[in-house]
Amino acid sequence: MRSSLLPRLLAALAVVLAVAVPLAGCGDSSSSSAGGNAGADPAAFLPASAPVYVEAQVQPTGELKDNATTVVGKILRTADPAGKITGLIDKGLKDDGASYAKDVEPWIGQRAGLAITGVGAGGKDPDVVAAIASRDDSAAQKFVDGRPGGTDRTYRDVKYRYKASDDLAAAVVDGAVLVGTERGFKSAIDARKGDTLADAAVFKKARATVGTDGLGFVYADPGRFFDLAVGAAAGTKAGGAASASQLNMIKGLLTGSGLQSVAAKLDVASNAVRIDAAAIGLKTPAGGGDGPGAAAAVPAGSWLSAGVGDVGGTITKALGSLGASGATGGLDPATLLQGLKSQLGVDVNKDLLSWMGDAALFVRGTSVEDLGGALVVHSKDPAASQKAIGTLKKLLGSLNVDTGALSGADGAASGATGFSVSVGPLPQGIQVAAKDDTFVIAYGRGVLADAFGGGDTLGDSAPFKTAAGLLDGAKPSLFLDTSQVVKLLSSIAGSDKGFLKAKPTLDVFGPAAAGVSSSGDVTRLKAAVSVP
């Protein structure tokens, strides 16, 4: 079993690679006459077969550096975020007798990247390797040579330092420090003689789609990852075949969807943290309808709103994809739904999915007493959604679930028809109702009436507009007002020490939003949270 040094060093690398906490203001990213390449591309040192890759700018410059310093300072609640982060790295290096200022800062360059190159079988650690740009190879070599307890080895004419107890190999190679498990390290050396990740066509497309001009970049090849995971699972003695079968099923879903890769960029403005992500290669774009419109139309004061366009069509497409991938065990989804109709008397397609259009889920309330929310579905066939009320009531009766009338106040105020269901741990019942072209499942006082509309909407509120303005043109289909969530947590946690310790950091964040769009075979997700 590996000792604790590898986890500690990888933890230190994780701090270096954590795109949310760059070393803004630490060191000087200028080139050094001692050799090295401060701006070297880490992906050019790593194998093309790597299924997961994470990159960060550890020495940002210009506006990016200024924004990072401002935002990270707010999150860490310090005027010296670089100093605080350096302290964290020093803790990871302490047992080796090293420090950031003395042993790392003299050589570390602008960018660092870490790749998973293999998935361990039987619970073993995965193989990983990191490439960190060096602006002074001589200083970097001193850092590598100074790690205690290692021995010198050579692989393909590359001399490296290896500590067997930690399965940790490190070397300075042409302007970069390579460090990782020995298998991962060797795969990086092999890549220098063959194919690198930076040259892989799928990786290039992922980079070009989201860009690498932010603080961090993440790339994943799901198909390759599951290939590795299946191989690792099959090699385990207990339950290996079953695990491999489950993973193959998931891979079948991915193959059926056409997904080639997933990429994301993390960036910062002076008052926000942003993510721009993309799923590349999808055969079927995101569903139609108007999810953002549904999310914006929920009642004002909601702290969560999630909109989905054309729910019925989206679910129908998803069921078709499951059948095509083999995830339903070879049974046609239509056959499965027909079985439900025989057993429960409900034709899912005709009685439910056929009329379901755009939908939104919203939640409001900052205490347990006033907590409430609803699922609001626009009906493409009001007569069918009205009829569904009776169908669902009958179905619940067949399952021995008691139903009653809508609660007096909410029922009268909404003018809807429907029923209520008592749920043991909830002080108020769930209410199911339909009115005109709107179908609602609601919980909480006054929620049913508000869900049917007529009052102020979330889309007109200041928090929603603030969050939407951070998405660089994308329309939000998901909204979260973190300040209200913190109030709710405060009312529940009370004087809990752990929560009180975390609350000052949580209070830093403002409204957040996310939006999805599709173009060709690329589905984009843009998300942002304000840091006012």
Q: What is the pLDDT of residues 440-485, one digit of tens each?
A: 999 998 899 999 987 899 999 999 999 999 998 899 999 999 999 9
**What's the predicted TM-score (pTM) here?**
0.85
pLDDT at 28 over 80: no
Instruction: Give percent of the chain above pLDDT 70.
Output: 80
Mean pLDDT for the chain overall: 84
Lowest mean pLDDT segment, chosen from 232-241, 248-257, 515-524? 232-241
pLDDT confidence tier of residue 333, bands split at 50, 70 and 90: low
Q: How far apart are CA 479 and CA 485, in angstroms?
A: 12
pLDDT confidence tier of residue 250, bands split at 50, 70 and 90: low
Q: How far apart are CA 241 and CA 141, in angstroms?
A: 45
Instruction: Give percent of the chain above pLDDT 90.
Output: 50
Q: Which residue, among 299, 302, 310, has the nearest Cα to 378 in the 3D structure?
A: 310
Q: Quick check: 462 and 452 in contact, CB under 8 A?
A: no
pLDDT confidence tier of residue 326, bands split at 50, 70 and 90: low
pLDDT of residue 185: 95
Q: Quick check: 451 and 289 in contact, CB under 8 A?
A: no
pLDDT of residue 120: 62
HEC string of 184-226 equals HHHHHHHHHHCCEHHHCHHHHHHHHHHCCCCCEEEEECHHHHH
Residue 338: burial class (beta carbons within 10 Å; 0-12, 13-18, 19+) = middle
pLDDT at 340 over 70: no
pLDDT at 305 over 60: yes
Q: Quick check: 98 and 104 in contact, CB under 8 A?
A: yes
Tokens describing residue 527: 């998300």
Mean pLDDT (whole number) for 30-48: 80
Pairing between strand 438-443 and 272-280?
Answer: unpaired
Mean pLDDT (whole number) for 112-119: 89
Mean pLDDT (whole number) for 249-264: 75
Model confidence pLDDT, tens digit, residues 63-93:
988 898 899 889 888 888 878 878 877 887 7
Q: How far apart are CA 338 and CA 175, in angstroms?
A: 63
Mean pLDDT (whole number) for 17-25: 39
Pairing between strand 127-134 and 261-269?
Answer: unpaired
CA angle centred on 526, ends 524 and 528, rounded to 5°: 170
Q: Which residue, among 462, 452, 438, has the nearest Cα to 511 in the 3D structure?
A: 462
pLDDT of residue 100: 84
Mean pLDDT (whole number) for 163-172: 90
Report the range out of 13-22, 94-103, 109-118, 415-424 with the highest average pLDDT: 109-118
pLDDT confidence tier of residue 272, bands split at 50, 70 and 90: very high
pLDDT of residue 412: 65
Q: Which residue, among 134, 138, 133, 114, has the nearest Cα to 46 in the 3D structure?
A: 114
Q: How far apart are CA 520 and CA 532, in angstroms?
A: 35
Q: What backbone torsions phi and psi does residue 524 show, to the nearest 5 degrees?
A: -105, 140
pLDDT at 5 over 50: no
- How many other CB atoms are found less than 10 A from the CB of residue 96? 17
Residues in Cβ contact with 147 at an 8 Å cutoff, skipping those fewer than 6 apart: 96, 98, 161, 163, 170
pLDDT at 256 over 80: no
Report the range out of 31-35, 156-160, 258-262 with the highest average pLDDT: 156-160
Give the distance from CA 524 to its chain's centroid. 13
pLDDT at 365 over 90: yes
pLDDT of residue 318: 74
Residues in Cβ contact with 418 at an 8 Å cutoff, skipping those fewer than 6 apart: 389, 406, 411, 431, 432, 433, 434, 440
pLDDT of residue 479: 98
What SS3 state is found at 168? strand
Dihedral, 48, 53, 58, 61 alpha carbons, nearest 10: 80
Q: Which is higher by pLDDT, 504 or 4?
A: 504
pLDDT confidence tier of residue 16, bands split at 50, 70 and 90: very low
Residue 530, beta-bridge partner list: 272
